[in-house]
Amino acid sequence: MNYNPLRLCEHRRCASASLRENFWKKCNSTILPEEPKKDIVRPKIIKVGNDLKAIKTMGGIEIKPEIDVDNLKLANDDLLLLPGGDTWMNGKNQKIIDSIKKNKSVNVAAICGATMALAENGLLDNRRHTSNDLGYLKMVCKNYKGEALYEYKPAVAEKNLITASGIAPLEFSYEVLKKLDVMKSDTLEAWYGLYKFQEAKYFFALMKSME
């Protein structure tokens, strides 16, 4: 299946939730140029939930899942995006973690609290990664054994795994777009530079890259 599932969890308190919601709301529209890169298949976003009940996010946006996790079938070229939140450690979202454990070749992008679920389930023990803080990760994830591979960076991409701190939605989005390969490299770098540094030169570079 050539789609990129967007994992939804029943959370309310992730600091970067509203920024990520805005990113994904725009992902199929204005955030990507009309022709961001030649000869690409524009990604299709499928919203996945524990069930099909509508979810109201911390930012007040109501999102209705299109399929439930029991009907999720992952292919190796899919990208499973796990948003942050404070429910990842209570077991309610274990089914999606089990799906990743069964198919470790699928692309996974996790931010904030979602990284803790990966850590607790041993999915970060042998991969370079980051999270909100190493000390906190060790404190809340008793099964975590990946300390030697922890990196103090906003976001870390390691093969088919992307992890990010909850206060790094821009870097997270950059790595996701890079993995999806939907923009030319100069377009992506200019887009990132514009939002990171707010300098006019990146705006003009972005416009030039789309000529």
Active site residue 141: no
- CA pair distance 107, 74, nearest whole angstrom: 9
User: Which of these is catalytic: 9, 14, 27, 112?
Assistant: 112
DSSP one-letter string for 19-80: HHHHHHHHTTTTTS-SSSSTT-PPP-EEEEESSSS-EE-TTS-EE--SEEGGG----TT-EE
Q: Which residues are tagged catalytic?
A: 112
